Structure 1
Amino acid sequence: MTEVTLRRGVLAAATGLVFALATPQQAAAEAPACTLVGTVGTPEPGADETTAGLEAFPAAEIALPDRVLFRTTAETFNRRWAFAARDGAIYVKPVSAQGGWRSLPLPGCLAGRVAGVSADDDELMAIDVDGRFFTMDRILSAPKDWNWSSRYGTPLWTGPGNTLPAGTVAWTWSVLSPNEDHVWRDTAGNDHSVGGAKVSHVYALTDDGHHIHYVDPWLPLDHSYEMSTPAQGRFRAVALSTSGSTTLVVNRFGDLYTRLYDFDISGADKVFFRYSYEDQRGRPEAPDMLTERVDDHYAAIQLPAPDWSRQPKIPGRITDRVSVHKTGIGSAARELRVEGIADGHTGYWVKDLTADHWDFVPTDEPLVGRILDNTPTDHSVDETVAVSPYTYAGRTAAGVGVRIESFDLAVSPTPLHLEFADGSRFDLTLHTVDALRQTVQPAGITDQPRGFDGSIEIPADTLATLDKQPDAVRQFVQTVLGGRHFTETAVRVTANDFAIDALGVTLPRTR
């Protein structure tokens, strides 16, 4: 991609740009005198399927590709339009047209300052040279309907704006919508209606590839929410792409994973959705979002949220240029593309999300990405990524020892170890979901308390054989956890302690 120097520093690397940015609050305060308040965040009232307004855009005067095959931050597309970012400007053409690029008129505070673009569904995200977000809405309609907004953040996408997290090495824009996707499928196999206002996120790969932050425009002006990387957070990605809340990542060894995950799917949005860890298989699907929320006759959203799914190894040479895009209704309607070489031709490897093999499409165009060491062996766990240093241990008022090892806020579930006075031991599972909040939270685990929605799971085989368990274990299960498979609990975590309300315990940090 064409490099644009960032005002607060940039490292040009083979995999992209590393952003060293101010906080969202600083960036908003330092923004050029331009506040854009176009409508964003709601489904289109009706798309104009014509190209009305495109003819007014000046013809591009630079060389641009005839086709856009990958959704990256240099070039991107939805089902109607292709966009490209070059030298601080944005260009557009119908996605099916061979050439015909035109220069997209930009607001004064963005013109000449564009560092990258990403389109999905009916929204386009542009990042300026300071890493700030600018959203253009209604891009499934005609250009005459397009509008820009610099708003981002609580309440309801009306906040003063946000930025990429510091240390971002790659980013992408994702939109899951009722108009295009209609539904998404949980791990119980049930379909659920997409929220009425869509689910839009920036996903940012940070910390040299082993953290993924997602930045939702309805949430506080911070970078506190994370989705773990594969292998329990020990995967180091070199690239990512997300469309319709489906993320594709790859590491330098060519290991590929996908995951369906966003704020709503995670289990955090209890205001609008109903979730359950209890088995929802076989229960009827609700006809709409409101019915599902209020009528427990219908299936709740199954928790935990979908985990990473390992994709088949590609049988050939590949680069770190990866892409995912929508192909139809439902969360399984996704196509994956990875740039590569086969039989002496350049092109891309392609498969549907759930297909069991890759096909190759030759293009004979120059490779753009960096060649990866696509080994046949699994290198998902990167030994250079350390396990989390946060371990907590202590005792309940009744003298039961409780231990949480290597807690990672983005990784769930976590083993919960118990030890009783008679020496018997009992392992439970603690599920955690980063809770809904409307105030700023620092990224990571800090001295500021961080709240989670938790659920303690008793192993099913333990419940089935409770009469054969040691007396201390049986009594604990019956009296403290009520003999339930799952017990909901608030969890609060700091860098110094770990509170689990259902156990009445606050554990000091031991490592």
Structure 2
Amino acid sequence: MIGMTIAAMTALGGIGVPAPASAEPKPAATAGPLACVPMLSTFQVVLPLPGLFLPLPSIRGVSEFRDLPAAPHGLNLPTRVDYRDASQGFNGFAEFALRRGSLYTRARDSGATWRKVATPGCLDGRIVSMSVDSNMVVALDRNGWIYSMDNVLSGPMLWNWTRLFGSPIWLWPGIQVPEHGQDRNKWSISHRMSESFVDARGFTHPTQAGLVQLVSLAGDGSRIVYQDPWLPPDHSYEIGGPLGGRFIAESISGSGSVTFVMNRYGDMYTRKYDLDLAGSNEIPGRYTWQIQPRNTPSAPDQLQERFNPGFAAISLPAPEWQHQPKIPGEITSRISIHDDGRRMENRQLRVEGRSNGRTGYWHKGLNERAWTFTATGQNLVDEVLTGADPSTDQSAQTLAAPSGVDFAGRLPGGWTARIDDYDWAQTTNPVTLTAPSGRTYRAFMHTTDGLRFVPRGSGLDTEPRTLAGALDVTKAGASPELTRFVNSVLDGRRIYEISLSATKSRLVISPAGLLTQPMVTLTRRTG
């Protein structure tokens, strides 16, 4: 797979061209993306690698918009663009709108004439959904194939399209979003170009490279799939959802590695999470599961952080979900998040709604507590959530069923371990440790999905899924028998780093490191 030739990728990418968009039922999925959308991009100066080239400088800046043809009359293009969703979006330079399968653009907040985006002929008129963040626009056709246009922080002369997405290094000739992710409010592109972020333990970390991920709701809305153009072309990576993965989201938006979800009652959660923050990519990042001293300094740049142990490493596990305050007014499920500054934490949340009979949007900063309303006078696009009670946390009123996947096994020294309702995508799963005395202790198993280069199936199956992590007994309490267990089994460490091999029938836990012997095998409990 990694050695696939460009000719072979071209052959794969050119199979199947869907019919033009219409009111007819959705056709069966084609075997590949639209062949006229190139692999090496419509602008042949650099490869389509926004994670490396951020962004190219404009040739003539805003004046380049005038070179694009004016939008035809009768399209009802928006007078203002306030949201990043499936039909409109913006970055700091331009704003975009989707009408009749084509993209239109103008300079941000200019109020200028809308102009038609140059688009490969077979895709123009067949775009059913779009998303823009930072330096990228992503469009989907009716079969869910991904097409990206980058350099959109530069003038339109440097905008370029490609159908490549996925490993190796953004060279896979086409990938689709999950089936349900194609629906309105069910997917979003996120392009991180922030200068820094704060990890789960409060340490600030510099960042120089960008990171792209596409987030989608899958299944009943409790699963969140993320696709990265440097990861295998599959749906095997997930962000474990709120409330132990049982929260059912109706809509999702992502920006700069911050994911924003809402349920049918207006309960909202956000999370800072991507491949790098999760601890899955040790090429640019240095991580630790251990608790670092509070006075450990932050590195001045990413290179020094990676190689100088005198600076703080990225703390694991990754930051958990942040429960956002409910909005004190009428809202819809149309949500949006966008960058509002140079740090990852500089994000603004927006939710369509009404206040005192006026239409507009509610908004606040990611870490602010109070919502503010801005009236726009625009018609509401989505229906008002009639069941939402601003005074009540309704997060648990529509929960997915527990996984029902229970594992148990024997540890050295006569101890046993049990994990109930295991969810592999969750960053943290509770573990019940039982001593020979019969006393139980509550521990936690933190994990992060491993870095893979070949596709695999979603969830757990018969193929081992390798995760890195730690068994954490820091909150298990204190007793002589627990101390003996920690000293004899966990090498004296209350945060014991592990490697986990997971299938649907067993979890094999080994000490972290190469060629280590398994410490315990937990088998699936039935009945």
Q: TM-score, normalised by structure 1?
A: 0.90
Q: 1:202 to 1:283 in 2, by over 3 A?
A: same
Conservation of the 8 A alpha-carbon contact between 1:6 and 1:129: no
Q: CA shift at 1:378, angstroms?
A: 1.0
Q: CA shift at 1:145, angstroms?
A: 1.0
Match of 1:72 in 2: 85
Q: 1:461 to 1:211 in 2, by over 3 A?
A: closer
Q: 1:397 to 1:73 in 2, by over 3 A?
A: same
Equivalent runs, 1:300-311 vs 2, <5 Å: 300-311=313-324
Match of 2:57 in 1: 47
Is residue 2:134 matched to residue 1:121?
A: yes
Q: 1:223 to 1:422 in 2, by over 3 A?
A: same
Match of 1:14 in 2: none
Match of 2:334 in 1: 321
Match of 1:58 in 2: 69
CA RMSD of aligned residues (A): 2.1
One-letter identity of the residue aligned with 2:525? T
Q: CA shift at 1:313, angstroms?
A: 1.2
Give the Cα separation in 2 of the matches to 1:485 and 1:399: 19
Give the Cα separation in 2 of the matches to 1:485 and 1:420: 16
In terms of mean alpha carbon deviation, does 47-56 or 286-295 score higher? 47-56
Aligned with residue 291 of structure 2, among 279, 304, 312: 279
Aligned with residue 334 of structure 1, among 344, 347, 352: 347
Aligned with residue 189 of structure 2, among 173, 198, 202: 173
Q: 1:276 to 1:441 in 2, by over 3 A?
A: same
Aligned to 1:266, the other structure's residue is in SS state: coil
Conservation of the 8 A alpha-carbon contact between 1:391 and 1:404: yes
Is residue 2:240 matched to residue 1:231?
A: no
Aligned pairs, how many? 485
Match of 1:207 in 2: 219
Give the Cα separation in 2 of the matches to 1:411 and 1:43: 33
Conservation of the 8 A alpha-carbon contact between 2:486 and 2:494: no
Is residue 2:485 matched to residue 1:469?
A: no
In terms of mean alpha carbon deviation, does 94-103 or 359-368 score higher? 94-103
Match of 2:148 in 1: 135
Match of 2:375 in 1: 362
Match of 1:374 in 2: 388
Q: CA shift at 1:383, angstroms?
A: 4.6
**Can you list the C-alpha shifts for 1:31-71, whole angstroms capped at 9, x where unaligned?**
43543312222233642271243222211112201110000
Match of 1:32 in 2: 35
Is residue 2:109 matched to residue 1:100?
A: no
Conservation of the 8 A alpha-carbon contact between 1:6 and 1:130: no
Match of 2:234 in 1: 222
Give the Cα separation in 1 of the matches to 2:370 and 2:436: 54
Q: CA shift at 1:208, angstroms?
A: 2.5
Give the Cα separation in 2 of the matches to 1:344 and 1:382: 28
Match of 1:510 in 2: 525
**Can you list the C-alpha shifts for 1:81-130, whole angstroms capped at 9, x where unaligned?**
11111211111111212251111121123122111111111111111122
Q: CA shift at 1:259, angstroms?
A: 1.2
Give the Cα separation in 1 of the matches to 2:313 and 2:348: 28
**Can you list the C-alpha shifts for 1:120-158, whole angstroms capped at 9, x where unaligned?**
111111111221111111111111111111111111111
Aligned to 2:331, the other structure's residue is in SS state: strand
Match of 2:430 in 1: 415
Q: 1:234 to 1:162 in 2, by over 3 A?
A: same
Conservation of the 8 A alpha-carbon contact between 1:456 and 1:486: yes
Give the Cα separation in 2 of the matches to 1:491 and 1:204: 26
Match of 2:258 in 1: 246
Aligned with residue 493 of structure 2, among 484, 491, 508: 484
One-letter identity of the residue aligned with 1:60? A
Give the Cα separation in 2 of the matches to 1:134 and 1:303: 33
Give the Cα separation in 2 of the matches to 1:6 and 1:118: 22
Match of 1:16 in 2: none
Q: CA shift at 1:412, angstroms?
A: 2.3
Conservation of the 8 A alpha-carbon contact between 1:21 and 1:164: no
Aligned to 2:244, the other structure's residue is in SS state: helix
Aligned to 2:304, the other structure's residue is in SS state: helix
One-letter identity of the residue aligned with 2:456? Q
Give the Cα separation in 1 of the matches to 2:25 and 2:498: 42
One-letter identity of the residue aligned with 1:172? S
Q: CA shift at 1:188, angstroms?
A: 2.1
Q: TM-score, normalised by structure 2?
A: 0.88
Give the Cα separation in 1 of the matches to 2:300 and 2:155: 31
Conservation of the 8 A alpha-carbon contact between 1:407 and 1:414: yes
Conservation of the 8 A alpha-carbon contact between 2:55 and 2:151: no
**Can you list the C-alpha shifts for 1:402-433, whole angstroms capped at 9, x where unaligned?**
21111112212112222233323333211010
Q: 1:426 to 1:461 in 2, by over 3 A?
A: closer
**Can you list the C-alpha shifts for 1:2-30, whole angstroms capped at 9, x where unaligned?**
x95699938xxxxxxxxx857xxx435xx
Aligned to 1:27, the other structure's residue is in SS state: coil
Give the Cα separation in 1 of the matches to 2:306 and 2:205: 11
Give the Cα separation in 2 of the matches to 1:137 and 1:89: 17
Aligned with residue 153 of structure 1, among 161, 166, 177: 166
Conservation of the 8 A alpha-carbon contact between 2:508 and 2:522: yes
In terms of mean alpha carbon deviation, does 209-218 or 110-119 score higher? 110-119
In terms of mean alpha carbon deviation, does 237-246 or 276-285 score higher? 276-285
Aligned to 1:131, the other structure's residue is in SS state: coil
Q: 1:360 to 1:340 in 2, by over 3 A?
A: same
Match of 2:9 in 1: none
**Can you list the C-alpha shifts for 1:203-240, whole angstroms capped at 9, x where unaligned?**
10121311111100000010111112211111111111
Aligned to 2:468, the other structure's residue is in SS state: strand
Give the Cα separation in 2 of the matches to 1:498 and 1:46: 47
Q: Which stretches in structure 2 are left out of the alignment for 5+ residues?
A: 1-19, 42-47, 512-517
Q: 1:383 to 1:368 in 2, by over 3 A?
A: closer
Q: CA shift at 1:284, angstroms?
A: 0.5
One-letter identity of the residue aligned with 1:367? L
Match of 1:259 in 2: 271
Aligned to 1:337, the other structure's residue is in SS state: strand
In terms of mean alpha carbon deviation, does 423-432 or 309-318 score higher? 423-432
Give the Cα separation in 1 of the matches to 2:439 and 2:204: 42
Give the Cα separation in 2 of the matches to 1:34 and 1:482: 56
One-letter identity of the residue aligned with 1:55? R
Q: 1:257 to 1:6 in 2, by over 3 A?
A: farther
Give the Cα separation in 2 of the matches to 1:447 and 1:287: 44
Give the Cα separation in 2 of the matches to 1:456 and 1:289: 28
